[in-house]
Amino acid sequence: MDDAAPDGSCGREPPSVGPKFSGMSTTADPGTHRKHVPAPSPTDFLGIDALLTGDERLIRDTVRAFVRDRVLPNIAEWFEDHTFPREMIKEIGELGLLGMHLQGYGCAGTSAVAYGLACLELEAGDSGFRSFVSVQGSLAMYAISAHGSEEQKQTWLPRMAAGDAIGCFGLTEWDFGSDPGGMRTVARRDGSDYVISGSKAWITNGGIADLAIVWARLATDNGDGAIRGFIVPKETKGFSTRNIERKLSLRASITSELIFDECRVPAGAILPEVSGLRGPLSCLNEARYGIVWGALGAARSCYESALDYAKTRVQFGKPIAGFQLTQEKLVNMMLEINKGLLTALHIGRLKDDGRAHPSHVSFGKLNNVREALAICREARTILGASGITLEYPVIRHMNNLESVLTYEGTSEVHTLILGQAITGESAFS
Ligand code: TGC
Ligand code: FAD
């Protein structure tokens, strides 16, 4: 760069261009070098905020304030007590967060980007809150909205949007997690009814739900019946739940087993508009999309905690933020959060434009959860011993993200979905 001109250019004339490009700028905007550019914010380094619309920022700020005022003051206690604050569900409904990106029937009908931002802010509080909203809106309500009858939509969606009815989504079984197509829960036709037998495992909201969306295989002689969805209200005879205790992750969330013992539902309980595994998988696309954003909320919370701590914690006579190794950790966190946000925003814009493929969502879920978990673990090291207590959010987020890495498709499953997308070869069968 010995021949650099004072303005930073190489001092040569720009190449001449033909008439095709006349009128287009061929040099950098001279103002770029001269006008004062404010230093980037440590918490929004690339200025991604400016890429959002006014409505998106308003929704983001509203959810952020809710989390600051209503979630953060108590979350450590809820996590420690292994409980989800049921009394807040109505409030979450009044904020318009339940089924917020669905249209009609009392749902807010926001953009996918706005929904993603809400997930991010909720998960900056705790993954348990984002999980609650994901399962209610993206799994249970979406299943009814996309695959239900008009009567089912009228009966359930307005109540679910308001937080007056809580839903859960039963796909996984003890022996069939990544491979739900192997499920054993069956629905046998009996006159005008269906009789459901079997069980579902690891079901978020199961123990507090008013209705379960249950995926079961229609009973046939050779066991090859189609997978169908059913709406099972909690009071249905033969349906019971049992909470899974002693979890060390997602403790501010209820996770349950659903048990169906000759559980009889009328024919009107079946979701009429979809048959096969693509029914539940279509719902997973929605919830996985929320996680693409949500995981970054947990990561942001840990990064901000670590940054704050590093600037005030003094060792060897100076703040640990002054040590090169600490700075490298913080910089790597900041890089991945910004890259993850650009990914989430891009996938969100594709989704709003009707151009998001399920494998785009796998891209975001795999990358953003993996990086968010790495950020939380790194943040924990910066906080030293303090990082292992609930006085700081870091180990709580870290433990939560261990579940997030596994549910809604493990990181291995999303790697293989992407592997198939780029090679054309399925590693599953
Ligand atoms: P495969 O043969 O590939 O496909 C079967 C049918 O499904 C269609 N399909 C999809 N449709 C919509 N969206 C998608 N993402 C789809 N992926 C596949 C496919 O076209 C086919 O349709 P058709 O009409 O031709 O029959 O199925 P496979 O058995 O080989 O499995 C593929 C695999 C492994 C990717 C899938 O089984 C999978 O994603 N497994 C992971 C299971 C999972 O994610 N479970 C999550 C349970 S819910 C949960 O975890 C909630 S936690 C929520 C919280 O608390 O936040
Ligand atoms: P497995 O499928 O047994 O996987 C074990 C390991 O094997 C993983 O590392 C996996 O990636 C790997 N593996 C499996 N197959 C392959 C392969 N083909 N190639 C390479 N590696 C492979 N489910 C619901 O239906 N509804 C819910 O609301 C719900 N909520 C949940 C809440 C929590 C807190 C948790 C932890 C789980 C929840 N789940 C829910 C279940 C979740 O979706 C499953 O745990 C997940 O799909 C993985 O299934 P599994 O745990 O049986 O693991």
What pLDDT digit, counting tens, does each position of 95-140 carry?
A: 999 999 999 999 999 999 999 999 999 999 999 999 999 999 999 9
Cα–ligand 2 centroid distance for 390 (angstroms): 27
Structure confidence at residue 31 (pLDDT): 55
Which pLDDT value is given to residue 23? 58
User: How far, in Å, is the centroid of ligand 1 from the Cα of 20?
Assistant: 49
Q: What percent of the chain has pLDDT over 90?
A: 90
Q: Is 128 in the pocket of ligand 2 (CB under 6 A)?
A: no
Same structural domain, 199 and 251: yes
Decide if pLDDT at 4 tops 80.
no
Domain finish residue from 239, 269, 299:
269
**Do 361 and 264 share a structural domain?**
no
Pocket test for ligand 2, best of 129, 178, 241 (most atoms within 8 A of CB): 178
**Model confidence band, residue 5 (pLDDT cutoffs 50, 70, 90):** very low
- Calculate how far, in angstroms, residue 112's C-alpha sits from the geometric centre of ligand 1: 21
Q: What is the CATH number of the domain that holds 80?
A: 1.10.540.10
89 Cβ inside 6 Å of ligand 2: no
Up-side HSE of residue 151: CA atoms within 13 Å toward CB? Answer: 7
Q: Which of 200, 261, 208 is nearest to 236 (CA)?
A: 261
Given pLDDT bands bounded at 50, 70 and 90, which one contains residue 168?
very high
Residue whose Cα lies nearest atom 5 of ligand 1: it is 277
User: With a 6 A CB cut-off, is 428 part of the ligand 2 pocket?
Assistant: yes
Please say which residue of 217, 244, 269 terminates a domain: 269
Examine the domain organization and report whether 53 and 127 are in the same domain. Answer: yes
Tokens of 22: 């006349």
Q: Indicate whether 45 pLDDT > 50.
A: yes
Is 233 part of any domain? yes
pLDDT for position 178: 98
Residue 9: its pLDDT value, please? 42
Q: Which of 304, 408, 412, 425 is catalytic?
A: 408
184 and 64, same domain (yes or no): no
Render pLDDT for 149-167 as a digit per residue (tens, 0 to 9): 999 999 999 999 999 999 9
On whether the CB atoms of residues 137 and 78 are closer than 8 A, the answer is no
Pairing type for strands 186-190 and 211-218 reads parallel
In a domain? residue 145: yes
Alpha carbon of 280 to ligand 1 centroid (Å): 7
Residue 160 falls inside a structural domain: yes
| pLDDT tens digits along 295-304 | 999 999 999 9
Instruction: Give the count of beta carbons closer than 10 Å to the beta carbon of residue 355.
Output: 10
For ligand 2, say whether the CB of 178 is within 6 Å of any of its atoms.
yes
State whether the beta carbon of 174 lies less than 6 angstroms from ligand 2: no
Q: What is the mean pLDDT of residues 409-416?
A: 98
Q: Which of 337, 341, 332 is nearest to 293 (CA)?
A: 341
Phi-psi region of 111 (alpha: psi -120 to 50; beta: other; left: phi over 0): beta
Residue 38: inside a domain: no
Query: Residue 327: CB partners within 8 Å, gap ≥ 6?
Result: 321
Residue 378 lies in a domain: yes
Phi and psi torsions of 90, nearest 5°: -60, -40
Is the minimum distance from the CB of 201 to ligand 1 under 6 angstroms?
Answer: no
Q: What is the mean pLDDT of residues 258-285?
A: 98
Report, as an integer, the average pLDDT of 77-89: 98
Q: Which atom of ligand 2 is nearest to the CA of 247?
A: 34
Q: Provide the residue type at 97 as one letter.
A: L
Question: Residue 268 CB: number of other CB atoms within 10 A?
Answer: 14
pLDDT tens digits, 199-249? 999 999 999 999 999 999 999 988 889 999 999 999 999 999 999 999 999
Burial tier of 45 (Cβ tally within 10 Å: 0-12, 13-18, 19+): middle
pLDDT for 15 beyond 70: no
pLDDT of the residue at 24: 62
Ligand 1 pocket mutation pick from 274, 278, 404 by most atoms within 8 angstroms of CB: 278
Mean model confidence pLDDT for the chain = 94
Asked if residue 383 and residue 310 are part of one domain, the reply reads yes
- Residue 180 near residue 256, CB atoms below 8 Å: no
SS3 289: helix
User: What are φ and ψ of residue 2, in 5° steps?
Assistant: -65, -30
Query: Three-state DSSP class for 241?
Result: strand
Shared-domain flag, residues 409 and 328: yes
Confidence of residue 7 (pLDDT cuts 50, 70, 90): very low
Give 371's pLDDT tier (boundaries 50, 70, 90): very high
Checking DSSP bridges between strand 314-315 and strand 318-319, what pairing results, if any? Answer: antiparallel
- Assigned domain for 411 exists: yes
**Number of helices and strands (H, E) in the chain?**
13, 9
Give the ligand 2 atom nearest the CA of 174.
Answer: 52
Q: Is the CB of 256 under 6 A from ligand 2?
A: no
Query: Residue 3: what pLDDT?
Result: 39
Does 406 lie in the same domain as 297? Answer: yes
Catalytic annotation present for 371: no
54: pLDDT strictly greater than 90: yes
Find the 379 Cα to ligand 2 centroid distance in Å.
26
Phi and psi based region of residue 130 (left: phi greater than 0; alpha: psi -120 to 50; beta: remaining): alpha
* pLDDT value at residue 2: 38
Domain that holds residue 324: 278-423
Q: Do residues 203 and 86 share a domain?
A: no
185 within a domain of the structure (yes/no): yes
Q: What is the pTM of this model?
A: 0.94
CB of 132 shorter than 6 A to ligand 1: no
The pLDDT of residue 376 is above 70: yes
pLDDT of residue 11: 43
Total of domains in the chain: 3
Of 234, 269, 304, the position where a domain reaches its end is 269
CA of 73 relative to ligand 2 center, distance in Å: 32
Of the listed ranges 21-35, 329-343, 380-394, 399-413, the least confidently predicted one is: 21-35
Q: Find the mean pLDDT for residues 345-363.
A: 98
Atom 50 in ligand 2: which residue has the minimum CA distance? 177
Backbone phi, psi, residue 207, to 5°: -70, -15
Q: What is the largest CA-CA distance in the chain?
A: 88
Whether the predicted pLDDT of 305 surpasses 60 = yes
- CATH value at residue 375: 1.20.140.10
Decide whether any atom of ligand 2 lies within 6 Å of the 105 Cβ: no
| pLDDT computed for residue 6 by the predictor | 41
Strands 211-218 and 167-170 turn out to be parallel
